[in-house]
Amino acid sequence: MSKKTFEVAAAANIELIVQIKDNQPTLFHQAHEITAATVPLNAVASRTRGRNRDERRTVSVFDIGDKLASTDWQPYVKSIIRVDRDCYTRNSKTGLLNQTTETAFYAGNATFTAIRAADSVRGHWKIETTSHYSRDVTFAEDRSRIRTKPGVFARVRSFAFNILKANRRDTLPQDRYRAALSGIDQILKLLDTT
């Protein structure tokens, strides 16, 4: 997260929610302090269950007021969003539950409702799990050692991923394997059938 991101969003009149991570330790610590000492403007709780998993999350929105006045972030950050997740996962072999707890902080350039913040955060993770995770598993993008024009190869992988996903017959790794065996001609045939 950079101040430049917030500047561009402000210039384009775009509302922005960005996760605060450990690479901004001062802001992360300040977000933790603000949410610990301030009453939230509003909060919303939700629960999702499925696949031996029960997740309960609470999204709270905090107005920062002048709490960042002595920092460079004051003109950019208008609210802090805290997401508390309690996840219970059942081990299918033992039947025992394993609990994990996580708290994440987000910076917003506007004051959001808790429902809108929750939808935005979940929307981001939907993209992360459906696209980025699948691409990494299918094409091993994170392990890629390509250093010359990596953007070109990323576009080629995206192109191939979209073709395979649109024409999925089994799983993406199986479709990728078939496409690799049959060559580019088979992939191009998939385009002609749509």
Residue 160 lies in a domain: yes
Residue 46 lies in a domain: yes
DSSP-derived secondary structure letter, 128: I
Last residue of a domain, one of 95, 114, 133: 114
First vs last Cα of the chain: how many Å apart? 40
**Same-domain status, 37 and 81:** yes
- 96 and 74 Cβ atoms separated by less than 8 Å: no
**Same-domain status, 23 and 77:** yes
**Same-domain status, 155 and 73:** no
**Same-domain status, 168 and 79:** no
pTM metric for this prediction: 0.68
- 107 and 31 Cβ atoms separated by less than 8 Å: yes
Residue 158 lies in a domain: yes
Sheet arrangement for strand 79-90: 17-20, 97-108, 79-90, 53-63, 42-50
**Same-domain status, 16 and 109:** yes
Q: Which domain holds residue 157?
A: 144-192
Reported as a single tens digit per residue, the pLDDT across 36-88 is 999 999 999 999 998 888 999 999 999 998 898 888 888 889 999 999 999 99
Number of domains in the chain: 2
Reported as a single tens digit per residue, the pLDDT across 153-167 is 878 877 777 777 776
| Number of residues written out for the chain | 194
Looking at residue 186, its pLDDT comes to 64
Alpha helix stretches (DSSP H) within 51-132: 114-127
Query: Minimum mean pLDDT among 4-18, 58-72, 140-154: which range?
Result: 140-154
Which residue shows structure tokens 């395979």?
164
Residue 100 lies in a domain: yes
Residue 92 lies in a domain: yes
**Same-domain status, 69 and 150:** no
Which is more confidently placed, 9 or 173? Answer: 9
- 99 and 86 Cβ atoms separated by less than 8 Å: yes
Residue 11 confidence (pLDDT) above 60: yes
Residue 76 lies in a domain: yes
**Same-domain status, 188 and 102:** no
**Same-domain status, 155 and 96:** no
Residue 148 confidence (pLDDT) above 60: yes
**Same-domain status, 23 and 82:** yes
Query: What is the number of H-type helices and E-type strands within the chain?
Result: 7, 5
**Same-domain status, 148 and 99:** no
The stretch 113-140 carries a mean pLDDT of 76
**Same-domain status, 16 and 92:** yes
**Same-domain status, 158 and 74:** no
Q: Using DSSP bridges, classify how beta strands 97-108 and 53-63 pair: parallel, antiparallel or unpaired.
A: unpaired
